[in-house]
Amino acid sequence: MASPRLALLLPGLGLLSEQNRNAFLEKQRANFEGEIFIISDFSGHDKNNRFTFIKISPAAKPEDFLKQGFSAALTLDVEKIITFENLSTRNATWFLPYLGMGNVIESTKRNFKEMLVSEVVNLVSFGNSYNVFSMNRIFTPEAVEVLAGYELSRRSFLTESINLLNSHGIRTTEIIKKNTVKNKSRRLTTSELAAVIMRNTKQNSVFYGGISLLTYIANVVMLYVGLSLGMIYPLAVFFSSELAGLSNFIVNEKINFKNRGFLNSAYKFGKFNAFLMVPVVLEILLLGVLSRYSKGIGTGTFFAISLISIIAVSILSFVLINRFVWAKRTNTKVYI
């Protein structure tokens, strides 16, 4: 099988010492047989004709270099575009085991802030990635064509790029190396963390949040309606949760996400209802225990605890349903 033609995006290559630059490139030459285009701020010459250097103007912002590099790569007849977390010789050939795959991210263990941002971004953007901050990536021309047409900010490029590919149905495989040390080199301030999350909050995420809030209100209203009609408390909880959940699903499935097809929606509703019922059953069991002691704790305390439990159930349902029903599964995680 012939080796694929690659384009390597190497910002800062010209800033390396000659010794380190030659060592990095020599690793490519020694381990890869095909033709490689080097897109960087360095104008070099390869006497062995293995590398073709394409110099682009140095950019003040990393995202500007990426956009220039992506645009340059699209003019070449290459099959994969490679980016690097760092230009050390240890990281020089990270991509070789994955060239037979499509779009790839190689991740290591997350530090706490990376974990926090990744999970919140997944929640607000319906994503499914493990570590959105790794820059060890393989892009296909199809993915690069999508990314080159968007304005991506410096700090949120890594997360936004995954979400953009998700929105276009372009699959990514994330290779997670479990036995590596946590990445301690990247530090995000609180304001940068918040900016990453805000830029990845989609319009349908806001609508989804509004619908969830209305669902919570409807749940509480229907609970008290059920109680006023004489229903026992567990039945009232089940009744209110089921009706509120059904309305939530229909509005999101058909209006917010604009999904079509009866069978697909029916299957998704089955999952939705299962995740909805898990916390509801837990709440009913909790209230069953509390009801035994309702006289001792007082009616006011009983209903206060009931209200808190409803809020807790609503939050738990929100997280579970968001992750397992609405999240797009175009990002596949593989642990090695």
- At 192-231, the pLDDT tens digits run 677 777 766 766 777 877 887 887 788 788 888 888 888 8
pLDDT at residue 78 in the model: 93
Render pLDDT for 307-319 as a digit per residue (tens, 0 to 9): 777 677 767 777 7
More confident residue, 28 or 185: 28
Asked if residues 36 and 110 have their Cβ atoms less than 8 Å apart, the reply is: no
The DSSP 8-state label assigned to residue 84 in this structure reads -
Per-residue pLDDT reduced to its tens digit, 277-300: 777 777 777 777 777 766 667 767
Residue 248, CB-side half-sphere exposure with 13 Å CA sphere: 30
| Better pLDDT: 156 or 237 | 237
Is residue 131 within 8 Å of residue 118, measured between CB atoms?
yes
Q: What is the pLDDT of residues 27-84, one digit of tens each?
A: 988 888 888 999 998 887 766 667 889 988 776 677 778 888 999 999 998 999 999 9
State how far the alpha carbon of 47 is from the alpha carbons of 41, 50, 51, 53, 160, in Å. Answer: 19, 8, 9, 12, 39
pLDDT of residue 153: 63
Positive or negative CA dihedral for 303, 304, 307, 313? negative
Does the pLDDT value for residue 305 go beyond 60?
A: yes
pLDDT at 139: 95
124, 205 contact by CB (below 8 A):
yes
Least confident of 38-42, 238-242, 247-251: 238-242
- Which pLDDT score, from 0 to 100, does residue 79 have? 94
All domains in the chain, ordered by first residue: 1-108 (3.40.50), 109-206 (no CATH), 208-327 (no CATH)
Q: What pTM value is reported for the model?
A: 0.73
For residue 318, which of 236, 215, 165, 201 has the smallest C-alpha distance? 215
Phi, psi of 180, rounded to the nearest 5 degrees: -105, 160
Sign of the CA dihedral with 281 first, then 285, 286, and 292 last: positive
- Cross-strand partners of 52: 37
- The set of residues, in sequence order, having a beta carbon less than 8 Å from that of 112 and lying 6+ positions away, is none
